Every structure is written in structure tokens, then in C-alpha cells.
Structure 1
């Protein structure tokens, strides 16, 4: 938050204030919320520690003292190969998809003013999955899965918001419409898989449960670019979205064009979800767990974009690590692990009182 004021103005409670003089002689200052900075720093450190653990655990266990040099090409060749070629690309995919799902989740939840309104809950990831599977099983299309996932996510979002047109995006009508749209696309996915050869169905299977084992390198690179742009875009929509947590009349009174910003936030959430689904499949439950962790740790003054992104990446990495190691050599898809965690988490959210934004 930037402000033009006298350097002598004291910082509000809970903030640090950094003041300086601009080249034109104007007094400027930057307000940094203390709790958000501490929470984000703590989550980042925790993510780094879990990443080192992720790179060291597997069929060939490596100590942290061997993992860190291997990241830079030092140490034994087998350690370098294991870390850089086998585990690091998958770790990057886990961090990127978890961060994208969680960032899309916090955007959607804030936009709808509903903690359950994540891309996974309202059917966006099912729509992306259905269209991606259609491209794999060649149901009349030959477009690459990432592009089809984007089309599917946009279609599901348009259907869900169209069904509640005039009723707003608040309350359980919005959630029920999303469940219905997701169920339809889920049924279409199962129908397509039932009508193709078993080998083709096996190739599309990871898209239906969520897995990082069959990721596409091009999709991971596209997700990295998209998430970077998404983080910058989230910074631009942070202030309008914070005000949109209140009623539309209040936001309009504070100078926010609610309809225009709502469309931009929705498109950002859809794109992030589609890019993440193109890499990992429908693991949208991360978009529910990550933002909830961030909110429980952060203050309610602002939308916790950074904390949500880091929490989502942390959850995704831990879930994939558990799937790789718990029943080794059998691997559990990350989507199944997240579903096992997300079910009880969803019940806890429903029973837990919502924090006020006041």
C-alpha cells in the first residue's frame, strides 16, 4: 500500500512504515503489515525445508547434506541425476500447481464471499478435465490438452455464473449450481473413457484423479509463465478485491466498478485453474485447503494472496511426497491424497465460524 504523506506520520497499529523522498521531492511511504510478512516468511521457510525433504526421500534416500550440493551439480553423479533429473522437475510441478490452485481459490472465494466457492467446488476443474480428456481420446478434437483445459474451465465458469445470474454469487445457490455443473462434466469424462480402448483410457486416467507422474513439460513451462503473470495481476486487483469482500453497494460507494473487476478476477481464476489442471489434473481441493490455512494464520485486513500461494504449494508438495513414499513402491496419485485430506477439512470448514472482515 503506497501513500503520499509527511515522513513524520506514524504507522497505523500492526504496520511498518518505510518513508522516502521521490526524485520530484514528494514524500512517499510504504506500509507493510507485520503479521502478513511474518506469516509469509514462515510459510516460505517451511516450504524450503519440505522441498529439501522431498528431494531427499524416495527409493534412494539422500541426506540434506547430499541434496543441497546435488542441486548445484556437485557430489556423486547418481545423487545429481536423482535430484536434478528425477525429483526436481516433479517438485517444481508440485509447487507451481499447488500455488496456482490456491491463488485461484482465494480469488474465487473472495469474489463470491463464500469459503466454499473454489474452482474445484464449483466445477471449473471438472470442466477443464473433461475438455483435456476429450483431446486425449480424440473425441472430435485434436487440440493440445492445456489449450483444451483452458476452454473447458472457461465453459464451466460461464455455465455456473450464468445459472445464478440475477441471484449473485453469494450463498448456497452458487455452490449448488457449481456442484451441478461439475457433476455434468464429471459424467461426460466418465462417458468418454468408457467408449475408448483400454490403452487410451489408461493414458487419460491421470487427468481424472490428479497426478504429477504424467505431467507434460510444455504445460509446466506454460504454468510457470502463467503463475508469474497471475501473481503480478493479483497485486493489481488486491485493493479492489479487498473492498469487494463487502456488499456491492459499499464497494460502489468506495469507487470500485464491481462488474468490471469481478470479470477480471474471474478470468484470472479460470486461467490459473486451467493451467494447473493441464499439469496435474483435477486437484482443486488445494484451492480450498491453502486459502483456509492462510486465513487462519493471517489477519483479516487484507486478502492473503502470498500466504495462500505458499500454503497451496506446501500442501501439494507434502501430499505428493506422502503419495510417493507411504506405500512405496506403489505410488498413490496426489489427487487421491488431497481428497483424503480435503474431506475432513471441508467438514471442519462447514462447522467452523467464519471470521469477520470488519
Structure 2
């Protein structure tokens, strides 16, 4: 199957990858609907559906369904898709399954920018925190790029430099929280866990705008990323401007991760696991980017569903659930034989 992108480019689509992507999207939408129609608030699924579609029911019913459950479910799907896509971009850049933004330090750098905005500027709006996370993410990416410039932005160089910088930034983040006033430190610490517990339309609207602008852009990276998987020399011979494409992919992945951190706080392991799970299910060569986004949406919406239900009526930060699932995923990787491949959509 071929998908035209622009007037001169086409993307080769693997039939199994397309089928798996459709199944993952439908599963994510199913979890999203369940999250909206069920919960600790005593309202039947039929009444919840009526409040959602027709605005029926009491004012409290509409508030719970439309102003609490719907933005939370939508945020989980969007953040999951964007984080997973960021992970797919960085795994393609590094040609390493560990090349996710949380491992290579970009999520930690975005967290540092967000913490500086929260603690030093007393930022509270999504825009202010988002500006801090994007600046922090790009500062980290720039520093990593400068460290790895002589040997090329990619491969193990990117992983090692990112891990080293991530550890230093984690120490800086903990220091910032330890020196902050108690109330500010509690807010910052809660944000660092990664959570949708206090999500609202004020945070979801800019996230939705960012997703509409950013997610379709992945189609422009699939073809050159596929060529980069063959090596820099082969990609150059095929007309790919390697340095420019790597820089564009790096910036794109950083923005995706930073936007997600601004909305939910840092959520670990999702960007690491989703691309690899999508690749194994689709059986396509390399990291399947579109399928990765669908897998991320399903994983995070499912993790948030568990976070709301496991200790109901108490709600666990979804970042803790994703960390636990990430540990299970790493153990799974150790048990299963290794599998290598190239890049696919």
C-alpha cells in the first residue's frame, strides 16, 4: 500500500502495520469511552452517555462527565500518542531501543524547565509551564548535540550523553524542590509524579491544538527516517541531507515530549515501551511510527484507567502506574529473544 505525501513523495505502508494501527486506535477509543462512562460518581452509563451527547441530566452530572472525565480521557490519549511518537523518533535517531526521551534526558530537561517555571516564576498556567518545559527540553537537546557533534547525533553517543545529563538534571531537580517553600515544593513534587488528577479544559485545549499541529508532521519524517536506518552513507547517496534531517527529527521529538510534560508532568517508560510493542505486533522492520502513536494512546489511557480504579476512590498518579508497567516491560525484554529491524510507518 502507498500513501501519497505531497506532490512528489509516497510512503510505503505495510498491510499488517495498518491493520494493527486500526485495532490499537479502536482499543484506545474503547478505553476512553469506558473512562468517561464509568467511575466512582454514581451515575449509570446511559445517563453518562446522555450527559455527554445531549447535555442531559443534572448540572453535577454534566460537570462530572463533560468537565472532568472527558478532558482527562482525551488528555490521556493525546499525551500517550505524542510521547510514544517522541520515543519512536529518538529510537530511530539512535537506532537503539533504549533511545527514548526519558532515557536520553530530554524529558528530565523539560521537567527542569517546568520546575524552574513553577518554583522561581510561580507559574501556574499551561502556557507558562509549557514555555519552561520546551526551553528546558531544547537546552538539554542542544547540550547533548554539542557533546555528540564530533561523532554524530545518533547511535550510542546520543544514549550515553543523554543518560549522563539526565542524572545531573535529576539531581538539580531534587535540589530545587528541597530548597523551595513547603507549599511550592508539594505542588512541584506532585507535578513530577505525572498525573491527570487535576486536568481541565484549560490544559486540554492547548494540548489538542498542539496535537493537531504536530502529529500529522510525522508523515514527513517516515521516508527519510527509513533511509537513515540504512546508514548515513547510504542515506546520503539517496539524496537525504543527513545533518538537516537529524536536526529536524531531534527538534520534533523534543517538542512532542516537552508539550506532554507541560500538561501531565513527566511520565516514564511509555516512550520507551510503546514503539517496541508496536513494532513487535506489526512485525514491520524498525520502529513503526504511526502504530507507535496508537500504541501509546492505548497504553496511557489504560494506565490512567487503572490509576483511577485500583484504589478507588483514591486516585494514583498515572506516572506511578506507567513506571510499574515499564518495569514489567523491561523484564519482558530480558525474557524474550532480541529482534532487530529497520523503519516503517
Q: Same fold (TM over 0.5)?
A: yes
Question: Which of 68, 73, 78 lines up with 1:96 in the alignment?
Answer: 78
Bigger shift: residues 172-181 or 132-141: 132-141
Residue among 158, 166, 190 paired with 1:174: 158
1:127 corresponds in structure 2 to 109
How many residues are paired up? 334
Which position in structure 1 is the counterpart of 2:41?
60
Query: Equivalent residue for 2:316?
Result: 332
- Once the two structures are TM-superposed, the CA of residue 316 in structure 1 deviates from its matched residue by 0.8
Residue deviations 1:65-118, cap 9 Å, x none? 444333212543354332112100111111111111001110111111111101
Please say if 1:292 is aligned against 2:276: yes
Greater helix fraction, Structure 1 or Structure 2: 2
Describe the shift of the 1:66–1:33 C-alpha distance in structure 2 as closer, same or farther (beyond 3 A).
farther
Secondary structure of the 1:137 match is helix
Cα distance in structure 2, aligned partners of 1:315 and 1:208? 20
* Alpha-carbon shift at residue 186 of structure 1 (Å): 1.2
The answer to which structure, 1 or 2, has the higher relative contact order (CA under 8 A, 6+ apart) is 2
- Does residue 85 (structure 1) correspond to residue 70 (structure 2)? The answer is no
User: In the alignment, which residue of structure 2 is the partner of 1:136?
Assistant: 118
**Structure 2 residue 140 is the aligned partner of structure 1 residue 159:** no
Please name the residue that 2:339 is paired with.
354
| Runs of at least 5 residues in structure 1 that lack an aligned partner in the other structure | 4-27
> What do you get for the CA RMSD once the two structures are aligned?
2.5
CA contact (8 A) 2:36 2:69 kept: yes
Match in the other structure for 1:15:
none
3-state SS of the aligned residue for 2:120?
coil
TM-score (norm 2): 0.89
Cross-structure match for 1:47: 28
The unaligned stretches of length 5 or more in structure 2 are: none
Q: Distance in 2 between matches of 1:279 and 1:341?
A: 21
Q: How many angstroms does 1:49 deviate by?
A: 1.2
Which residue of structure 2 lines up, in the alignment, with residue 109 of structure 1?
Answer: 91
Shift of 1:38: 0.9
**Which stretch of structure 1 is more off in the superposition, 270-279 or 65-74?**
65-74
Instruction: Give the alignment's TM-score, normalised by structure 1.
Output: 0.85
Is the alpha carbon distance of 1:193 and 1:252 closer, same or farther for their aligned partners in structure 2, counting shifts above 3 Å? same
- Distance change >3 Å, CA 240–CA 57, structure 1 → 2: same
Distance (whole Å) between structure 2 residues aligned to residue 180 and residue 231 of structure 1: 29
Q: Secondary structure at the match of 2:54?
A: coil
Output the CA distance in 2 between the equivalents of 1:206 and 1:103. 25
The answer to whether the Cα contact below 8 Å between 1:320 and 1:334 also exists between their aligned partners in 2 is: yes
8 Å contact kept, 1:118–1:284: no
| Structure 1 residue 190, shift from structure 2 partner | 1.0
**Mean Cα deviation higher: 138-147 or 334-343:** 138-147
